[in-house]
Amino acid sequence: MSNLTQEVTQLHADICSALADPRRILLLYALAEKPYTVNDLAKYLDISQPMTSRHLKILRERGLVVATRDGINVEYSLNDHRLIDALDLLREVLRDRIVSRANLIVELK
Q: Which CATH class is domain 3-79?
A: mainly alpha
Closest by CA to 52, choosing from 38, 73, 31, is: 38
Report pLDDT for 52: 97
How do the domains of the chain map onto residue ranges? 3-79
Report pLDDT for 109: 67
Q: Per-residue confidence of the chain (109 residues) as pLDDT tens digits?
A: 788 888 888 888 888 889 999 999 999 999 999 999 999 999 999 999 999 999 999 999 999 999 999 889 999 999 999 999 999 999 999 999 898 888 877 777 6
> CA 35 to CA 108: how far, in whole Å?
48
